[in-house]
């Protein structure tokens, strides 16, 4: 059946349903280069504006899987469990989580991505560690997984190659938030990856792509359904992202904070979510006699972290990059910090160099933001509230524009109740 990109774009632009044949053709043609980036960008925008039904999403996901190979971890002696976050600000959870779950007895084949828009990317964070490699062959990935229990790496060229192209395109064309594209992107990689179970961390709030619980539930339910239909036990937690996670947003800054968590310290919200997700992953994998909180406290997770980083060429003892310039934002009044907007902080970190505006842009390893207070904390006029880090000080003014209305300070003694870290569970 003859196909062309313009007809497919028009069909979705005019709010029609794409047929199975149209979906199969456009994904294959885009992967082969027959459909241009600008044509796929137009189709992505039409999907964002007009949506897809369950059949279309399922077929789109299947076509992405079919664009490449599928991995097989059946030779491992441990059950496999993976986790995916839909993206947030300060979301460094994968870094302590993967070695923690491995320390408890499951294998974690974690295929991660780079930053999308104002959200950070796990690979960008880990690449701030001297020598660490994100690109592994399938054989290398299996070897690291078998010998350390956990691996965090980029999806290989052979694994859902259609998604690799689409992922980068969405980041720079304003189509990241489209639920059908998010769901199919995540699940095509995870299903092709071959993990036996999957836990989804679906962020909700200003710093997430899903701003409302309703949208987050829709995305989570869609992905749980896609995973279940492909034989992958899938569970989703809806977690808060109105405020950044932890006290850092930026690549090397978040690695430092993750190491603090693995050493038994770190911010309470990062620890709480790490342990909660570890429990879900272990349960989904059928490992029910381990205590992730104990493994975090006794150093066994840190031991796995060091082996995991070294196995991918990194030096776990090396000094992490530090930005050349800093700027301190001070509290303008004494009182209680009642709001610190995750989106504003994420945009500011991106403007400082922690993220990219074009898919080919590099990121600054040391750029980002330190937060010296979180909502509920008492602050004193003049004390440091935020510290901005960058190698290029001309970025400070642009970043400060994003932070101008990013926080609220109420009168001293004002009561404040922090929202829960985990909002809902969908299975």
Catalytic residue among 83, 125, 170, 395: 170
Distance from C-alpha of 391 to C-alpha of 269, rounded to nearest angstrom:
29
Distance of CA 412 to the CA centre of its chain: 36
**221 catalytic, yes or no?**
no
Q: How far apart (Å, rounded) are the C-alpha atoms in residues 9 and 1?
A: 17
Contacts of 376 (CB under 8 A, 6+ apart): 336, 337, 338, 416, 417, 418
Could you tell me which residues are beta bridge partners of residue 387? 328, 370
CA gap 101, 93 in Å, rounded? 12
Active site residue 163: yes
Give exposure, 260-296, as e/b (b: 16+ Cβ within 10 Å): bbbeeebbebbbebbbbbbbbbbbbbebeebebeebb
Q: Which of 12, 83, 165, 189 is labelled catalytic?
A: 189
Note if 389 is an active site residue: no
**Residue 77 among the catalytic residues:** no
Select which of 82, 163, 269, 341 is catalytic.
163
359 is an active site residue? no
**Catalytic pick among 112, 128, 184, 185:** 185
Q: What are the residue numbers of the active site?
A: 84, 163, 170, 185, 189
């Amino acid at each position: 059946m003859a196909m062309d990109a313009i007809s497919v774009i028009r069909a979705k632009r005019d709010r029609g349903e794409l047929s199975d044949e149209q979906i199969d053709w456009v994904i294959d043609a885009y992967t082969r280069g027959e459909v241009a980036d600008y044509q796929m960008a137009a189709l992505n925008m039409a999907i964002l504006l007009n949506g897809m039904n369950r059949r279309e999403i399922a077929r789109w996901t299947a076509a992405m899987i079919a664009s490449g190979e599928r991995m097989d971890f059946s030779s491992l002696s441990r059950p496999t469990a993976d986790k995916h976050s839909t993206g947030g600000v300060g979301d460094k959870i994968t870094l302590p989580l993967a070695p923690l779950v491995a320390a408890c007895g499951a294998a974690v084949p974690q295929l991660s991505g780079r930053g999308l828009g104002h959200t950070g990317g796990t690979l960008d964070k880990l690449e701030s560690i001297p020598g660490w490699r994100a690109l592994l062959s399938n054989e290398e990935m299996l070897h690291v997984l078998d010998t350390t229990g956990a691996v965090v790496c980029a999806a290989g060229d052979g694994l859902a190659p259609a998604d690799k192209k689409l992922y980068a395109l969405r980041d720079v064309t304003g189509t990241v938030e489209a639920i059908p594209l998010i769901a199919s992107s995540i699940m095509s990689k995870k299903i092709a990856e071959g993990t036996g179970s999957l836990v989804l961390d679906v962020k909700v709030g200003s710093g997430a792509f899903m701003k409302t619980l309703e949208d987050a539930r829709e995305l989570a339910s869609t992905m749980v359904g896609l995973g279940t239909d492909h034989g992958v036990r899938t569970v989703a937690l809806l977690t808060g992202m109105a405020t950044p996670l932890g006290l850092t947003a930026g690549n090397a800054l978040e690695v430092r904070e993750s190491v603090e968590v693995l050493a038994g310290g770190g911010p309470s919200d990062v620890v709480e979510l790490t342990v909660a997700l570890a429990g879900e992953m272990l349960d989904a994998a059928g490992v029910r006699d381990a205590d992730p909180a104990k493994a975090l406290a006794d150093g066994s997770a840190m031991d796995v972290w060091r082996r995991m980083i070294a196995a991918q060429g990194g030096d776990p003892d090396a000094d992490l990059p530090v930005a050349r310039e800093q700027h301190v934002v001070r509290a303008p009044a004494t009182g209680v910090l009642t709001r610190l907007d995750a989106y504003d902080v994420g945009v500011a970190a991106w403007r400082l160099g922690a993220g990219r505006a074009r898919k080919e842009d590099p990121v600054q390893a040391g750029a980002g933001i330190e937060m010296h207070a979180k909502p509920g904390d008492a602050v004193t006029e003049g004390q440091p509230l935020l510290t901005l880090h960058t190698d290029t000080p001309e970025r400070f003014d642009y970043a400060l524009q994003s932070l101008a209305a990013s926080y609220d300070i109420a009168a001293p003694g004002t009561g404040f109740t922090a929202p829960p870290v985990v909002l809902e569970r969908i299975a």
